[in-house]
Structure 1
Amino acid sequence: MNILLLEDEYPAAERLQRLLGQAAPEAQVLAVRDTVAGALDWLAAHPAPDLIVSDIQLADGLSLEVWEQAVVPSPVIFTTAFDAYAIRAFQANSIAYLLKPVKLAELQAALAKLRQWGELRVRSEELRVDSGDAAELTLNSSLLTLHSIERLLDARRPYKTRFLVRQGEQLLPLPVAEAAWFLSRHETVTLVAADGRRFVLDYTLEQLEGLLDPTQFFRLNRQVIAQLPAVRRLHPHFNGKLLVELHPAAPEEVLVSREKAPALKAWLEG
C-alpha cells in the first residue's frame, strides 16, 4: 500500500508514520507534504497513491483545496480536530475522519474500511459487465452508509471537560470552561486560565486539538489554541494576517496566517 501523507506539523507526521507502520506493516509512505501547493505538485508528477492521509489544516490553507483543484481518485483518511469540515471531507473520497490525537485502534479501523472499499470496487467492476450502472449504485450506496456511520460516531465523541492541574504540592480539577488559551513554547504547554492563573500541562497542542470541542476552541497558529471568550479583538496585520487580542493578554503577538484567517472569522461568527 503506497501512501501520501499531508501534514504540516513535523511531530504529528512522524507519529502518523509510526502508527501506519504498526497498523499496516506493508504500507509505504511515498512522500510527506505540508502545503496544498506541494500536494498538488506531487500528485501531478506521480501516479495516484493507494491512500492519502491528510490533516485538514496545512501550512498554506485547507487540504480540501487539493480535491477542489484537482481530480484525485485516491481514498483519503483525514486527521484533524475540525468537525466543521466533515461534510466537505466526505466529498473528497474520505473513508474516515479521525480526531487528533489519532489512536492506533481508530487508524486500524479506518484501514479495514479502506480494504472493504477496495473489495467493493472489485465487485463493482465485476458486476458492471453484467448489470451496467447498478453496480456503481451499489458501491456508492455502501460508501454513503460508511460515511453516515462515521459522522454519527464523530457526533457522539465526548470532549474533555476538565484538567487535573498542579498548584504547588496539590492537584486541582480545573474545568475546561475556565481555560482561556493554551501556549506551546520550548516543548512545554501552558494553560492560561481566564483569571490569569497558569498551569503546565502534560499535553501537546496536537493532543489538545483532539480533546477540546472545536466549536469552543480554535488553533490560532503553531503556538496557541484559544477559547472563544478569550478572543477579544482582531486587528488587520501585514500581508493579510490577523493580530489576535487575547484576554488575559499573551506575552507576545499572536498572529493568524492569511490562509487561516477566513476559518477563524467563520468560527467566531458561529
Structure 2
Amino acid sequence: MRVLIIEDERPAANRIKQLIAGYLPEAQIFGHLDSISSAVKWFKNEPAPDLIFSDIELADGQSFSIFEQVHVKSPIIFTTAYDQYAIKAFKLNSVDYLLKPIDPAELEKAILKFKNSQLQPQIDLSQLQNLLKTGNVNYKSRFMVKIGERIQSIAVDDACYFFSAEKTTFIQLKEGRKYILDYTLDQIEEMLNPQQFFRINRKYIASIDAIADIFSYSNSRLKIKLKGCEDNDILISREKVNVFKGWLDG
C-alpha cells in the first residue's frame, strides 16, 4: 500500500507517519509534500497512491487547490483544525476528517473505515470550502494561566503574540506581561482564529496588531519586528511570504 502525506509542518507529518506505521505496518509512506505546488507537480509525474493524508491549510493556500488542478481518485483523509460538528456531515464515505492535534483513536477509526470500504470517495470540495468560509468554527477565546498559587483567565484578544523558548510556550500580552501556557505552539496554532493570528515561523505566532515593521531580507524572505519583542531575527520563509501578505491584506 502506497500512502502519501501532504503536510507543511514537519512535526505534524512525522506524527502522522508514526501513527500510520502502527496501524498500517505494510504501508510504504512517501516523504511528505509541504505545498500546493510540490503536490501538483508530484501528482503529474507519479502514479496515484492508495491513500492520501492531507492537511487543509498549507503554507501557500488550501489543499483543495491541489485537487482542482489535478484529477485525483485516491481516498483522502483530511487533517484539519475545524470544528467536529461542522465536518460531521461530510463523514459519509471513505473520506474522513481528523481534528488536529490528531487523536490516535480517531486515526485508527479513519484507517479502519478506509480498509473496510475501499470505495473511491465522492469528494464535494466546493461544499467543504463553502462551509469553512461560513465561520462555523469554535476558536479559543481564553487561556488559563498560573500566577503563583492563583489561576487567572487571559483573553486571547489581549495577546500580542505567542512564542516558544527553551521548550516552554508563552503568551505575551499587549500590556507587557508574559505567562507560561500548557500547550505546544503547534496546538495553540490550531486553536486560534487564522484571520487574527499568523504562524510566523516555528517560534512565533503573532497577532495582526503585533506587526510593527516588515523588511525585505535575503533569499526572498521577510524580516518581522513585533511590538514589545527584543528578538531582531524573526524571519518569514520564502514559501510563506505570499500567504503572509494575503493575511495582512485581509
Structure 2 distance, partners of 1:171, 1:205, is 21
Quick check: 1:78 aligned with 2:78? yes
Could you list the structure 1 runs, at least 4 aligned residues long, displaced by more than 6 angstroms after superposition: none
| Aligned mates of 2:207, 2:176 — CA distance in 1 | 14
State the shift of 1:180 in Å: 1.1
Rounded to whole Å, the distance in 2 between the matches of 1:219 and 1:82 is 17
Tell me the equivalent position of 1:28: 27
Identity rate of aligned residues, in percent? 38
Q: Distance in 2 between matches of 1:107 and 1:150?
A: 25
Q: CA deviation at 1:26?
A: 5.8
Alignment-derived partner of residue 238 in structure 1: 218
Instruction: Identify the match of residue 165 of structure 1 among 140, 145, 148.
Output: 145
Structure 1 residues 237 and 222: alpha-carbon distance in aligned structure 2, compared to 1, 3 A threshold = same
Q: TM-score with structure 2 length normalisation?
A: 0.75
Change (3 A) 1:150 1:41: closer
Unpaired runs of 5+ residues, structure 1, are 84-89, 122-138
Kindly report the root-mean-square deviation, in angstroms, between the aligned alpha carbons of the 2 structures: 3.8
**Highest Rg: 1 or 2?**
1
Match of 1:253 among 233, 240, 244: 233
Q: Give the deviation of 1:10 after TM superposition.
A: 3.6
- 2:87 paired residue number: none
Distance 2:29 2:210 in 1: 41
The yes-or-no answer on 1:263 pairing with 2:243 is yes
* TM-superposed deviation, 1:264: 1.2
- With structure 1 as the length reference, what TM-score do the two structures score? 0.70
**Does structure 1 residue 209 correspond to structure 2 residue 197?**
no
Residue 183 (structure 1) aligned with residue 163 (structure 2): yes
Higher helix share: 1
Cα deviation 1:197-235 (Å, max 9, x = unaligned):
111222111111211111211111111111121123322
Matched AA of 1:79? T
Cα 1:97–1:229, aligned 2, differ >3 Å: closer, same or farther? farther
- Secondary structure of the structure 2 residue equivalent to 1:195: coil
3-state SS in 2 of match to 1:264: helix
- Offset, 1:250: 4.2
